[in-house]
Amino acid sequence: MKYDKISGFSDEISENVDTQFRVLKKLGIGYFEPRGINGKNIAELSGKELADLREKMGLYGIKVSSIGSPVGKVRLTEDFEEHFSRFQRVVETAGYLEAKYIRVFSFYHDNGAEWSTDERAEILLRLKRMIDYAAGQGVVLLHENEKDIYGDTVERCADLMESLGCEHFRAVFDPANFVQCGQDTIEAYRRLREHIAYVHIKDALMADGRVVPAGMGDGNVSYVLTSLLGGGYTGFLSLEPHLGDFVGLKDLEANNKMTERPQSGEDTFTCAYRALEDILDGIL
């Protein structure tokens, strides 16, 4: 396999950042997507903790592919001014860690599957304000198609990209998340292809939403990567294994069944990486 831009959510290896980096180096991975650092979310690190992280990145030769932030992963009813301040802090963190990208989401609501016209308008206003700020700071916001947020289906992801897409607002393509929303990933890929700037390597089964190694589910991961790479894609492929429980998982997803799984660690992360290797070996 010859692809230089492999990254991953290494907090699924361990909450300890030294362990994260040791395993990444062992696997030959030179990037990570910081989310959980020594048991704390990347958005909550103090200046001293960020300085320590940057020092360790230098020692291990690890760079950031994207900040795995929780921005936009809150309900519309929550105070947006407070959340925007948190977003600004994340942008500062991206600059400090020399990261071009920041992962974001498009808010939850309390109305089940239906989204009102007013809610959509409010989401566009909030995202536009964040995009404008990001543009001023020279970073790119990457919208992830997380289940239960506004942009979880193909149609609503396309709506966001067609309404707000620009050089500072692009799409993360996460096959497993589309599967868990009952979406056809090939249709999603074809609809969103021109907006994709980053890929999460995660697969799932349509029958029950269970996450499995890439290529073993219904996410059509091989098809997506074959088309992307064949079309000249040179962006990051970021491993988000979700093959077991890890510190911080319960805060990431509501009603997550994965807390019933064995503990994540080096073995599950390595399994996810080898599955990606197998797919890339058949493409490159």
What is the pLDDT averaged over residues 87-114?
94
Of 111-120, 169-178, 207-216, least confident by mean pLDDT is 111-120
pLDDT digits (tens, 9 = 90+) for 129-170: 999 999 999 999 999 999 999 999 999 999 999 999 999 999
CB 165 within 8 A of CB 195: yes
Q: What integer best gives the mean pLDDT of the chain?
A: 93
pLDDT value at 112 more than 90: no
- What's the CA gap between 63 and 31, in Å, rounded? 5
Residue 258, pLDDT score: 45
pLDDT value at 191 more than 50: yes
Confidence band for 49, pLDDT divided at 50, 70 and 90: very high
Fold of 6-281: TIM Barrel (3.20.20)
Phi/psi at 200 (nearest 5 deg)?
A: -95, 130
pLDDT digits (tens, 9 = 90+) for 15-37: 999 999 999 999 999 999 999 99
Residue 7, pLDDT score: 98
What is the pLDDT averaged over residues 96-106?
98
Residue 246, pLDDT score: 44
Domain boundaries, the chain: 6-281
pLDDT digits (tens, 9 = 90+) for 234-266: 999 999 998 865 455 555 554 454 445 566 699
Confidence band for 110, pLDDT divided at 50, 70 and 90: confident
